[in-house]
Amino acid sequence: MTRIGFATRGLLYIVIAMLILRTGRAEDPSGAIEYLGRGGGRVLLLVIAAGLMGYGIWRLADAALDIERHGSDRKGVMERVGAGVSGGIHLLLASKSIQLMRGAALSGDSTQDSARTAMQLPGGWALVLLGAAILAVLGVVQLLKAAKGSFLRYLAPSVAKQAWVQWSGRAGYAARGIVFLISGYLLACAGIEEQASEAGGMARVLAWLTSPFDIIIGVGLLAFGLFSLVEARYRQLHDVPVDDAILRATSWR
């Protein structure tokens, strides 16, 4: 299920990239799911939902049980927190796939909707600025992964050594990092100006970018989609550390 999830993530990014590169149409993962659902019908939506659900559960399990052996230091804890956030996002995307299967229409930009909800709360602008800071941090983390190539350690060694795999991953993580940073900037503008319409996720970022920068980011997202397909086949998935979990549970008694 996790490997199907990696493949599904790759498919969504490839669709997003091809839409911006071929037609100039800006979409996010939700838009890509809707686009595929219209073309492939309920069977494809079912596969997408299953893959995203499997990937989301795996990421949440990693956050809870440290499946990827991140460790207990500060860096490891932050990676597990990131895994938890990623898991929640992908489960939300899975639920949107199920909504489409049931014939429901998807709402607009989730980042903009969240900003609008926050603005209605007392001191909501501060919450929006906090969200912008989190997006900025995520963007920097993605750029650091692109620079260091740390993502390669999760692949089978023979595949990780191939230049095209390395550069597809670097280009993909760099593009994602830039998208996160710009999304954080737009969200910060929304908080400062108290205008939720200023906020936006990936679709808003791609629409905001002018040529040729939208094409450059589109190529990077295409590279990330291809790299995700590589991960679907060659990602080294660890067993759940059940013994360690049992030892920790019994030691608390």
Look at residues 104, 126, 143 and tell me which one is the last residue of a structural domain.
Answer: 104
For 58, residues 6+ apart whose C-beta sits below 8 A from its C-beta are 1, 2, 5, 67, 87
Is residue 14, in this structure, part of any structural domain at all? no
Average pLDDT over residues 23-29: 90
Is residue 177, in this structure, part of any structural domain at all? yes
Q: Tokens 């319409």, residue?
A: 197
Residue 82 corresponds to which amino acid? Answer: G
Q: Which two tokens stand for residue 122?
A: 């007392």
Same domain, 84 and 114: no
Same domain, 149 and 185: yes
Residue 9 corresponds to which amino acid? Answer: R
Same domain, 118 and 229: yes
Indicate the SS3 state at residue 1.
Answer: coil
Report the number of distinct structural domains present in the chain: 2
d(CA 153, CA 57): 22
Same domain, 144 and 205: yes
Q: Which two tokens stand for residue 43?
A: 């069977």
Is residue 78, in this structure, part of any structural domain at all? yes
Report the pLDDT value the prediction gives residue 223, as an integer from 0 to 100: 97
Same domain, 114 and 76: no
Same domain, 209 and 116: yes
Same domain, 131 and 233: yes
Is residue 253, in this structure, part of any structural domain at all? no
Range of the domain at 225: 109-239
C-alpha distances out from residue 99 to 74, 96, 121, 169, 196, Å: 38, 5, 28, 31, 25
On the question of pLDDT at 253 being above 60, the answer is no
Same domain, 198 and 211: yes
Backbone angles phi, psi at 235, to 5 degrees: -65, 135
Q: Tokens 């499946």, residue?
A: 67
Which one, of 169, 180, 181, 179, lies nearest residue 216 by Cα?
179
Q: How confident is the model at residue 182 (pLDDT cuts 50, 70, 90)?
A: very high
Report the pLDDT value the prediction gives residue 40, as an integer from 0 to 100: 75
Q: Which two tokens stand for residue 223?
A: 């590279």
Peptide bond into 212 cis (omega under 30): yes
Is residue 250, in this structure, part of any structural domain at all? no
Lowest mean pLDDT among 52-61, 89-98, 113-122, 152-161: 113-122
What confidence tens digit (pLDDT) does each residue in 226-239 have?
A: 999 999 999 998 77
User: Is the Cβ–Cβ distance between 199 and 186 less than 8 Å?
Assistant: yes
What pTM was estimated for this model as a whole?
0.87
Same domain, 75 and 54: yes
Is residue 211, in this structure, part of any structural domain at all? yes
Look at residues 88, 104, 120 and tell me which one is the last residue of a structural domain.
Answer: 104
Same domain, 83 and 130: no
Report the pLDDT value the prediction gives residue 143, as an integer from 0 to 100: 96
Same domain, 100 and 117: no
Lowest mean pLDDT among 19-23, 64-68, 113-117: 113-117
Same domain, 100 and 130: no
Handedness of CA 30, 34, 37, 43 (dihedral sign): positive
User: Is the Cβ–Cβ distance between 24 and 68 less than 8 Å?
Assistant: no
Q: Distance between alpha carbon 23 and the CA centroid of its chain, in Å? A: 23
Indicate the SS3 state at residue 235.
Answer: strand
Indicate the SS3 state at residue 132.
Answer: helix
Look at residues 104, 120, 135 and tell me which one is the last residue of a structural domain.
Answer: 104
